[in-house]
């Protein structure tokens, strides 16, 4: 049983901070009927499938998933990362201390090594999809709805998905790409961590695509 403490709505779900009676703090997502009409359920299943393959301190854990009653919205229970996301930390900080940048970046690299070892390609890695604990000392990679679950190492992909500001050139040129696309995103995130500004923005990315 869950005791809900706060609610904030996303584009396709109602999100809650909650506490299980065993006193484990969690994050609960309840998909909206509107989202289901937009066929977002497939993305949710992809995320659940990906999360089931991970066991790493810097990758978000799925604690439970409820979808037995087809008349009700699916519910996903994740571990709680109470410190917001990396985007907010960067936006609120004029300059993040270099030691903190090194620590957070090492954790991102460790998480991505684990994710790729499990043959998952995230494909939408960005500061908004990297959560933080309450002290902003530890990260959790999250949001695997656009992930690709591969059957073999080095498998080529061709779908253009994700966020342009963090998208590798091969992707926005609609060429084939591999899991290394995630590492391009990681490089963009490092740039942003160190300089508190994006490596590419909507304008410059548009110019790159046109060129």
| Residues 55 and 156 placed together within one structural domain of the fold | no
**Confidence class of residue 197 from pLDDT cuts 50, 70 and 90?**
very high
SS3 of the chain: the string is CEEEEEEEECCCEEEEEEEECCCCEEEEEEECHHHHHCCCHHHHHHHHHHHCCCCCCCECCEEEEECCCCCCCCEEEEECCCCCEHHHHHHHCCCCCHHHHHHHHHHHHHHHHHHHHCCEECCCCCHHHEEECCCCCCEEECCCCCCEECCCCCCCECCCCCCHHHCCHHHHCCCCECCHHHHHHHHHHHHHHHHCCCCCCHHHHHHHHHC
| Residues 50 and 68 placed together within one structural domain of the fold | yes
| Residues 40 and 119 placed together within one structural domain of the fold | no
pLDDT at 201: 75
Count: domains in the chain: 2
Q: Stretch 10-27: mean pLDDT, rounded?
A: 49
pLDDT, one tens digit per residue, over 87-122 is: 999 999 889 999 999 999 999 999 999 999 999 999
Domain that holds residue 103: 86-210
Of 207 and 33, more confident: 207
Which of 63, 79, 95 represents a domain boundary (last residue)? 79
**CATH code at position 63:** 3.30.200.20
pLDDT, one tens digit per residue, over 141-181 is: 999 999 999 988 888 999 999 998 999 999 988 899 999 99
Whether 39 is catalytic is: no
Which of 79, 114, 135 represents a domain boundary (last residue)? 79
Of 39, 52, 69, 124, the catalytic one is: 124
| Residues 97 and 139 placed together within one structural domain of the fold | yes
């Amino acid at each position: 049983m869950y005791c809900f403490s706060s609610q904030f709505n996303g584009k396709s779900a109602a999100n809650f901070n909650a506490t299980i009676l065993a006193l484990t703090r969690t994050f609960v997502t309840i998909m909206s009927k509107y989202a289901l009409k937009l066929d977002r359920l497939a993305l949710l299943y992809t995320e659940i499938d990906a999360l089931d393959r991970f066991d790493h301190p810097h990758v978000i854990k799925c604690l439970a998933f409820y979808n037995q009653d087809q008349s009700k919205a699916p519910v996903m229970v994740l571990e709680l990362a109470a410190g917001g996301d990396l985007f907010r930390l960067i936006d609120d900080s004029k300059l993040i201390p270099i030691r903190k940048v090194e620590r957070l970046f090492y954790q991102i690299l460790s998480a991505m090594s684990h994710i790729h070892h499990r043959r998952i390609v995230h494909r939408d890695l960005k500061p908004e999809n990297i959560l933080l604990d309450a002290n902003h000392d530890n990260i959790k990679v999250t949001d695997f709805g656009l992930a690709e679950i591969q059957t073999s190492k080095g498998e080529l992909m061709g779908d253009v998905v994700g966020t342009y500001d963090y998208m590798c050139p091969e992707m926005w040129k609609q060429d084939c790409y591999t899991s290394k696309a995630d590492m391009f995103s990681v490089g963009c995130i490092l740039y942003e961590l160190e300089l508190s500004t994006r490596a590419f923005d909507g304008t410059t990315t548009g110019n790159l695509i046109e060129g």
